[in-house]
Amino acid sequence: MAQPVSEKVFHTEDLVKTYQTGSTEVRALDGVNLDLFATELTVLLGPSGSGKSTLLNILGGLDAATSGRVEFRGRDLTELSDRALTKYRRDHVGFVFQFYNLVPSLTARENVQMVTDIAPNPMSAEEALARVGMSDRIDHFPAELSGGQQQRVAIARAIAKRPEVLLCDEPTGALDSTTGVQVLEAIRHVNEDLGTTAIVITHNAAIQAMAHRVVRFQDGNIASVSTNDTRLKPTDIEW
Amino acid sequence: MHALDIKLLRDFQRLWGQALAIALVLACGVMILLTAFGMHRALDDTLTAFYDRNAFADVWIDAEKAPRGLLKEIAEIDGVQIVEGRIQKYLMLDLPGRVESATGLALSLPESGDLPHLNIPILRSGRLPSVSATDEVMVSEPFAQANGYQIGDSFSVLMSGQKRLLTITGTALSPEFVYAIGPGSLMPDDEGFGILWMPQATLEAAFDMSGAMNSITLSVSRDAREDQVLNDLDTLLDPYGGTGAYGRELQTSNAFVHTEIAQLKNMATILPPIFFGISAFLVNMVIGRIITLERAEIGLLKALGYTDLHIAVHYVLLAGLTAVLGIIIGWGTGGMSARWMAGQYADYFKFPYLIFNVSYDAYAISGVLALLTAALGALRAALGAARLPPAVAMSPPAPPRFKRSAFDRMMNAARMSQPTMMIWRSILRWPVRALMSAVGLAFAVAVMISVGFFSHSLDTITDIAFTQSNREDAVLLFAQERPLSTLEEVRRLPGVLEVEGELYAAVKLRHGHLEKQLSITTRGAGATLARSIDTNGHVAEPIGDGLLITNRVSEVLDLQPGDLVEVEFMTGRRETHTLAISAVTEQFFGLGAFMTRDAMAALQRRAPHISVANVTLDADQADAFNQQIKDTPLIASTVRVTDMKDGFTESIDENISVMNGLFIIIAVLITVGLTYNSARIQLSERARELASLRILGFSNWEVSYVLIGEIMLVALLAQPIGWLIGYGIGVLMANSFSSDLYNIPLVLPPAAYAQASVVVLGTALASVMVVRRRIDRLDLVSVMKTRE
């Protein structure tokens, strides 16, 4: 499968993010220039501390850059107010985290409803859960679900708003390979069926095989970008 | 329902123990507010209604004997609306089946045979006595009830030396005697003191008062200048032995009821803020901790697009639910206790009915206050949650930064064990939190001390009033002032061992612009029965022509030993003299001033007189003494000091133990609310740390020590703070309970502090032990696995 030719969703220019820890300054992002395109599934690879998560947080409007530009469909995110960033996240972005971050006091359906309650044009919680194959566990609490099931609920929660971008931070990091594959399947479905731009962070190199493009990070910057001419299905990936 | 609301309810359900502990403290504030407000309003409404409907007079003046013709002149005083003259006399009663004598206050009913126009008695049973009947009487209802009298029953009364049998035709209650207290008594005694309404003609004939009166009551218009009316009255009655006109504020019954009403108001203002303050602190502590534990969830909510407002409101609502629980409990118990207490008051004060309107405003105010308290407590934490940047919220908090300080060197030098060091480090790392917890617990200690002092104060009052000051067995009140030689007659009564006389003279004391009406007590030098005790506990006697005053008089007139005071006599020659204050004495009932018999006789330019005789009695001859008293015309009434003391301690002890019990419960609730929540929070914060200790091989108890140690150390630190605050509140309470009628000294022996500390420390230990059991159940593996 070739990379679809389409419009730019994200565009970054000289993106820098520094943190102060104690007396030392850590440069998490060191002048990143990157374009990401609609309907593309991109995998960000790299060792921990290489800046992948920081980039994802900034793209998702969770964190602010120290300098440089981030555009979402031509709009500069760095200039948005806190309120506008909140609206941006609410309307356009779906997040999936390594540790699922489900609310333990809410059932699978209710966790998804957290999003459908506030999103402008959501699908139903039932539909979102059906898309990740969780229809039969809809009224279970997180504690009653396996790790893979919890992550699929988290994906259902992320896609229920019909986001333009799905940002996944180590979605399989806490899972064994069998359940990890189920989660990656769910992400692929969302990308293909709904045309959602997906960005998946992983340090598991095997996963890059399912991406349209692979961006490798090293020391806060992009080391290389490659395009897969042929993509594997998650079920065909082995790790 | 929104998913966020479902989360709210589930969180509340999960936190029910902590929420309940806070809610109960909040409920205490709501309950006390409602009870005090409710009782205050019931008492005020009932009193106002009773006064209005039964034309409670505005002004009173007593005289020796004034012609009825004077009423016309009084009516012409500017502002006077209704004026009535009557005859009033204290009578010695001989009640069938009662060994001791009793006292009756006889009041004449109008000649017309109707009810009076002022201070209208409300007929409770039977009828008024007939105008012409000389042996009929209507009595006050509490007197009839206490003695078990029915309509038609009879008792004897001594009138001008003659014993007469009177038959009860009816019972009544009067706005003048809502709090009916006999002459010389400290508290109502329904069995031994009654109001007797009798036809005017009967009293006129018995006391040689034909066409005369000795008590005048009047009502004045709303815009009248009362002080002017009082002055005019004094001038008019002066030639007839007027003893000084006074308004409602000096009318005994009214003054007592109003003192009580004022105290209820004080209670409503002093105590609830303490509870609300503690609740706000607890809410802050618990919500703050929940937010720390839910950082990830808050980050998630933000990532999902929830706004800051959504998040802040979410946590404020969690506090709001706690407040609602507290309000429901507070309203439930407060509503019931207000009604019950109002009933008790209606019983204590003699009201014919009780107007208990539910004070919706009190419900609204207490509810709003409780909600505000919780919201304020939650606000800081909730705003903090809203401000958490989403990315930061989702990464675990950095480990708290501990720094080496001088304390560490001290701890090292003290060779503390590692767990002990953990306890101290934690307190030193969060000193504000430890201090706030300590202050909260200090309030629990303070609440107990601030009420606990009452029983000690009353012991002091009883000791000074009865053991040291009033050592006589009985006080005999003469019908008129008598020459000193009357003491010999008293000495001849059967069973009398010692006898001493006292003279009471009604005066106005003036110091600058300050003025008080009271009576000066005159005693012979070296009196041993009734005597004054100074503030150091020594016997104090007036010296020369100096005046000894009580501490309350010293306060209200701003008089110190050596100051000069103007004394206007309201009887006799009505002269005004200037006297020096020789000393200040301790007295807890009423206002008082004392001088020597010789000095008084010199001022009055007559031989020494007495108005009462204090006696000690031979217990074996008590019956003979009592029998003889009932037939002695010279004596108008008697006060049994021993009975009075017993009655006083009995009625007070009961109230005090109820109140102490209530405040122990309150202190326990505050302590549980604080320590249970602290311990739960500690445990959740330190679960990893404590589990690590367990894995490293520490025993359950060694690990528990870290948890218990920190809480109990804070509780210990709270004690001295609590003692100080308790003392402060005690001063406030003692001041607020003090009036011209009585004042309560602040007496706080070490036992009072100890009791409060034992209760609070014991409760704190019990609460933390309940939480400690969770350490036994700590799932070591899963705790180590959780991310935080």
- For strands B514-523 and B593-596, give the pairing: parallel
Three-class secondary structure of residue A221 per DSSP: strand
Spell out the SS3 assignment of A5-47. CCCEEEEEEEEEEEEEECCEEEEEEEEEEEEEECCCEEEEECC
pLDDT over 80 at B515, yes or no: yes
Sorted by sequence, the CB contacts under 8 Å of residue B762 that are 6+ apart come out as: none
The structure tokens listed for B737 are 């309970």
For the segment A102-108, the average pLDDT, to the nearest whole number, is: 87
For the segment A26-53, the average pLDDT, to the nearest whole number, is: 91
Q: What is the pLDDT of residues B701-727, one digit of tens each?
A: 888 898 899 999 999 999 999 999 999
> CA of B286 to nearest chain A CA: how many angstroms apart?
18
Q: What was the ipTM of the complex prediction?
A: 0.79
Query: Which member of B7, B299, B389 has the closest CB to residue A105?
Result: B7
For the segment B200-207, the average pLDDT, to the nearest whole number, is: 93
Note whether A82 contacts B: Cβ–Cβ < 8 A: yes
Rounded to whole angstroms, how far apart are CA atoms B277 and B25? Answer: 10
Q: Indicate the pLDDT class of residue A3, thresholds 50, 70 and 90.
A: very low
Between chains, do A103 and B304 touch, taking CB under 8 Å as contact?
Answer: no
Note whether B6 contacts A: Cβ–Cβ < 8 A: yes
Q: What is the pLDDT of residues B609-647, one digit of tens each?
A: 999 999 999 989 988 998 888 888 888 888 888 888 887
The whole-number pLDDT of residue B50 equals 95
CB B579 within 8 A of CB B546: yes
Interface with B, mutate which of A117, A129, A139 (most B CBs under 10 A): A117
Between the alpha carbon of residue B99 and those of residues B168, B455, B494, B634, the distances in Å are: 20, 32, 15, 19
| Amino acid in position B108 | S
Q: Indicate the pLDDT class of residue A2, thresholds 50, 70 and 90.
A: very low
Number of H helices, E strands in chain B: 22, 22
Query: Which member of A63, A82, A99 has the closest CB to residue B787?
Result: A99
Distance separating the N- and C-terminal Cα atoms of chain B: 30
Query: What burial letters (b/e) apply to A225-234, b meaning 16+ CB within 10 Å?
Result: eeebeebeeb
Contacting residues of B for A101, CB less than 8 Å apart: 296-297, 299-300, 394
Between the alpha carbon of residue B308 and those of residues A56, A64, B274, B388, the distances in Å are: 21, 17, 32, 9
Between the alpha carbon of residue B418 and those of residues B421, B423, B484, the distances in Å are: 5, 9, 83
pLDDT over 70 at B404, yes or no: no
pLDDT over 60 at B324, yes or no: yes
Between chains, do B390 and A63 touch, taking CB under 8 Å as contact?
Answer: yes
> CA of B328 to nearest chain A CA: how many angstroms apart?
25
| Amino acid in position A85 | L
CB B526 within 8 A of CB B534: no
pLDDT over 90 at B203, yes or no: yes
Between chains, do A110 and B390 touch, taking CB under 8 Å as contact?
Answer: no
User: What is the reported pTM?
Assistant: 0.76
The whole-number pLDDT of residue B396 equals 61
Degrees (nearest 5) of the Cα angle B163, B168, B171?
130
The whole-number pLDDT of residue B483 equals 93
User: What percentage of chain B reaches a pLDDT higher than 90?
Assistant: 42
Rounded to whole angstroms, how far apart are CA atoms A196 and B715? Answer: 58
Between chains, do B306 and A86 touch, taking CB under 8 Å as contact?
Answer: yes
Rounded to whole angstroms, how far apart are CA atoms B30 and B105? Answer: 44
Q: What is the pLDDT of residues B381-399, one digit of tens each?
A: 888 888 888 777 666 666 6
| Amino acid in position A8 | K
Query: What burial letters (b/e) apply to B47-77, b meaning 16+ CB within 10 Å?
Result: bebbbeebbbbbbbbbbeebeeebbeebeeb
CA proximity to A121, closest of A165, A66, A169, A159 = A159
Contacting residues of A for B2, CB less than 8 Å apart: 113, 117
| Amino acid in position B565 | V
The whole-number pLDDT of residue B681 equals 83
Q: Where are the domains of chain A?
A: 8-236
Three-class secondary structure of residue B607 per DSSP: coil
Beta bridge pairs of residue B94: B156
The whole-number pLDDT of residue B421 equals 79
- For strands A213-218 and A41-45, give the pairing: parallel
CA proximity to B570, closest of B507, B640, B492, B657 = B507
B676 CA to centre of own chain: 33
CB interface of A with B, residues 48-67, below 8 Å:
57, 60, 62-63
B780 CA to centre of own chain: 55
Q: What is the pLDDT of residues B563-577, one digit of tens each?
A: 999 999 887 788 899
Between chains, do A86 and B302 touch, taking CB under 8 Å as contact?
Answer: yes
pLDDT over 90 at A125, yes or no: yes
The whole-number pLDDT of residue B397 equals 60
Beta bridge pairs of residue B163: B158
The structure tokens listed for B482 are 């008598």
Burial of B151 per CB tally in 10 Å (0-12, 13-18, 19+): middle
Query: Which member of A101, A110, A161 has the closest CB to residue B3?
Result: A110
Between chains, do B7 and A103 touch, taking CB under 8 Å as contact?
Answer: yes
Rounded to whole angstroms, how far apart are CA atoms B576 and B594? Answer: 16
Give the residue, B396 or B458, on which the prediction is more confident: B458
Contacting residues of A for B15, CB less than 8 Å apart: none
Between chains, do A103 and B305 touch, taking CB under 8 Å as contact?
Answer: no
Give the residue, B784 or B384, on which the prediction is more confident: B384
Note whether A122 contacts B: Cβ–Cβ < 8 A: no
Query: What burial letters (b/e) apply to A164-191, b meaning 16+ CB within 10 Å?
Result: bbbbbbbbbebbeeebbbbbbbbbbbbb
Q: What is the pLDDT of residues B527-560, one digit of tens each?
A: 889 888 887 888 888 888 899 999 889 999 999 9
| Mean model confidence pLDDT for chain B | 87
Quickly list H helices, B388-430.
390-394, 406-413, 418-429
Sorted by sequence, the CB contacts under 8 Å of residue B304 that are 6+ apart come out as: A89, A90, A95, A114, A115, A118, A157
Contacting residues of A for B11, CB less than 8 Å apart: 105
Q: Please give the class, per CATH, of domain A8-236.
A: alpha beta
Lowest-confidence region among A197-211, B114-128, B259-273, B614-628: B259-273
Between chains, do A117 and B391 touch, taking CB under 8 Å as contact?
Answer: no
Residue ranges of E strands in B200-327: 212-220, 246-247
Rounded to whole angstroms, how far apart are CA atoms B473 and B542? Answer: 23
Sorted by sequence, the CB contacts under 8 Å of residue A219 that are 6+ apart come out as: A30, A50, A51
CB B648 within 8 A of CB B739: no
Beta bridge pairs of residue B107: B88, B197
Q: What is the pLDDT of residues B90-111, one digit of tens each?
A: 998 999 888 888 999 999 999 9
CB B464 within 8 A of CB B532: no
Sorted by sequence, the CB contacts under 8 Å of residue B477 that are 6+ apart come out as: B90, B183, B184, B611, B612, B635, B636, B637, B638, B639
Between the alpha carbon of residue B283 and those of residues A237, B4, B122, B592, B725, the distances in Å are: 52, 20, 53, 50, 22
CB B528 within 8 A of CB B470: no
| Mean model confidence pLDDT for chain A | 89
Between chains, do B394 and A113 touch, taking CB under 8 Å as contact?
Answer: no
Rounded to whole angstroms, how far apart are CA atoms B425 and B713? Answer: 12
Between chains, do A86 and B6 touch, taking CB under 8 Å as contact?
Answer: no
Nearest chain A residue to B15 by CA distance is A105
CA proximity to B258, closest of B595, B654, B739 = B739
The whole-number pLDDT of residue B766 equals 95
Q: What is the pLDDT of residues B107-152, one digit of tens each?
A: 999 999 899 999 999 999 999 999 988 999 999 999 999 999 999 9
Contacting residues of A for B7, CB less than 8 Å apart: 103, 105-106, 110, 114
The whole-number pLDDT of residue B788 equals 41
